[in-house]
Amino acid sequence: MYTALVTGGSGYFGELLSKQLLRQGTYVRVFDLNPPGFSHPNLEFFKGTILDRNAVKQAVSGVNKVFHNAAQNPLAKDVDLFWSVNKDGTQIIADETAAAGVEKLIYTSSSAVFGAPKSNPVTESTEPKPGEEYGRAKLAGEIICKRAVQRHGLDVAIVRPRTILGHGRLGTVHVLFNWIERGLDVPVLAGGHNKFQFVHSDDLASACIAASKVRGFATYNIGAAEFGTMRELLQVVIDYAGTASKIKSIPMGPTVLAATLASAFGLSPLGPYHLLTYGRSMYFDISKAQKELGYAPKYSNSQMIIESYDWYQANKASLSKGGRSHHKSPVKQQLLALVPYLLRMVPA
């Protein structure tokens, strides 16, 4: 039995990854400010922040592999935290992982490092060009990991997921499900014909674990194998829910400008990354992961959005209590709550 350290192991994805590792017989040490929401005989909790070098030094001691997931996500909209946690924290993790002689570091990056790509599919050889601060900070984390390979001989795998869905996933998805449940209209930008790929949290966890077993530095782009347009995906949820919601197309330019201003003044939960990508095509070529990791995603876009909606329906009574991470918690809609009513003036 080997020991895995999971940073951010009490967050949405970190907790699911920890559970999958435990099912495979791995001893898991969760490193987080908050304890995980479950217990297991082979689960250990180590309280701390990745910005505390002494705490990190203790956390990595005696572990075989480090799965680094602790990060500030786009919903935080805090530029200082993006850089301190996602960059400086990753530097500390890389330094101390190398110093401790850890066998492998698996860094969960983000598709945000590519911003809004000019062409698709995006491959591992596509040059990263982040379009906002969150993506830039995550790319800085990748660069830190690559330098650790060159300077310290640390074995690293970088895993870049598309937007994550799955049971328990909330954040901005909560807004969508709430509107559809109530039969309110849902907007798409410029027709909603942009192809948009998601990844199920379980598929992503499988990819991270598979990457941890491959020797030598590598980067993998991870997403669903079956996906379509944003309009098609929203229609799947509406049809499944059986409500009166309709999809309404609105112009991209003025909408993004208005939403950007609302976000900047703290009147909307959406961050720059959401506004950059919602109306644009973005999907990965996952062939490298399929070939080298045996990656075989079990979920299509449609399957994972339906599972996510089912979880929302089954748990909505307790959602007002929120969670500890942004992706585990519903968001306050703020000015977004007005959008469905404004859409009434837009023809179907």
Domains of the chain by residue range = 3-164+198-222, 167-197+226-282+300-345
Tokens of 196: 């948009």
Q: Residues with Cβ < 8 Å from 213, sequence gap 6 or more?
A: none
Return the minimum-mean-pLDDT range out of 36-40, 70-74, 140-144, 278-282: 70-74
pLDDT tens digit sequence for 213-255: 999 999 999 999 999 999 999 999 999 999 999 999 999 988 8
Is residue 105 predicted with pLDDT exceeding 90?
Answer: yes
pLDDT at 208 over 50: yes
- pLDDT higher than threshold 70 for residue 323: no
CA torsion 13→14→15→17, rounded to 10°? 80
Between CA 174 and CA 166 the distance in angstroms is 12
Q: What are 36-69's pLDDT values in tens digits?
A: 999 999 999 999 999 999 999 999 999 999 999 9
As given in the structure block, the two tokens for residue 233 are 């995906």
pLDDT of residue 44: 97
Q: What is the rounded distance in angstroms from the CA atom of residue 305 to the CA atom of residue 200? A: 9
Which one of 3.30.70.1430, 3.40.640.10, 3.20.20.120, 3.40.50.720 gives the CATH number of domain 3-164+198-222? 3.40.50.720
pLDDT reported for residue 327:
47
What fold, for 167-197+226-282+300-345? UDP-galactose 4-epimerase; domain 1 (3.90.25)
The sign one gets for the Cα dihedral 86, 90, 92, 93 is: positive
Q: Do residues 323 and 10 make contact, with C-beta atoms less than 8 angstroms apart?
A: no
- pTM of the model as a whole: 0.93
